[in-house]
Amino acid sequence: MIQSLLWIAAILPAQASATAANTDSDSNVDSKSDSSQQAVLPETTPELTFEVTPGVWLLRIRGDASNGPDNAPELRFDTQLGLSDLVPAFRGEAIVARGDWSVRIAGSTFNTSGSTTAEEFSQWGSVLLVPGLDFRSTFDMAYVATEVRWRAWNPLGEDTLTKENPLRLGIGPNVGISWLDIDQSLSTFSQNVSNGHSWWSVWGGANLDFEFDMSRFISWMDSIRVHALIGVGGTPANGGMMWQAGGGVQFFFTHNIAASVGYRYEKYTLEDGDWKLNPNFQGLFIGATVRF
């Protein structure tokens, strides 16, 4: 009898221990099962990238302007106002992008001046220009613009370059707004007329960029990007139609450093009282791009 009781006493703790171990094991399996069912892989978020391109805009101003009553003659900036020089102007551009969306910011400033001789009777404000009269004119401009772009279509099906997909092509619309400040003056030996005003313009258009992986062919170059844009809009207050166009090539020697060569063209219709301008700014843009 005593031996039986001792045997039962020895067996019961062992069974209890085994039961507890099985319970803990089942609990761990259940918790792992629950956690595996609840775990959700995070969605892949496109990388946020920044590009900064400072450079020189080899700019020429073209178009015409008038200052006076409605019948005041329009004078050409280059041939009649003496502003024919090529001006090395600062221009900076930056792009912030995430996936198919990007924001482009651009700015420039320049000033030019020239002296010439009137060849026919004309008028600029209170100054009567007669043949043979020497005069000097100046033109200063500051410009800032921002533009939102959407890469709506990827014909080649890829957003980024990979070893399997060495080509990328993106096409989509853009909308933008710009601020333009201009000061212009004309002076003779005895008179001076100065004008200055700022205008806001808005536009919409399209952009295209094509990128090709070069590292498989040239050891010292990562990729080449070709881009183009066009926009059409207007200056709602004290102005009329405006449009712009541009494009260029970027040679990425590494993933982060590139040399940029392009062309920029901007045309405006502006007015401020009797002062009316139809300038276009055009020229080669050369810069260096840093991407991070």
Element at 18 (helix H, strand E):
helix 2-38
The predicted structure's pLDDT at residue 43? 55
| Alpha carbon distance 150, 172 (integer Å) | 5
**What's domain 48-291's superfamily in CATH?**
OMPT-like (2.40.128.90)
State residue 71's pLDDT score. 82
Phi, psi at 5, each rounded to 5°: -65, -40
CB 240 within 8 A of CB 232: no
| pTM, full prediction | 0.82
Query: Cβ distance 258 to 220 under 8 Å?
Result: no
Nearest alpha carbon to residue 160 among 97, 219, 79:
97
- Using 50 as the pLDDT threshold, list the residues of the chain that sit under it: 1-42
Q: Which pair of structure tokens corresponds to residue 104?
A: 């482009």
User: Strand pairing of 223-234 and 192-213?
Assistant: antiparallel
Count of positions (residues) in the chain: 292
What integer pLDDT is reported at residue 272 of this predicted model?
Answer: 97
In the prediction, which pLDDT does 52 show?
A: 98
The C-alpha atoms of residue 91 and residue 265 are separated, in whole angstroms, by 13
**What are the tokens at 179?**
């601020």
Structure tokens at 127: 């100054």
Tokens found for residue 119: 């060849």
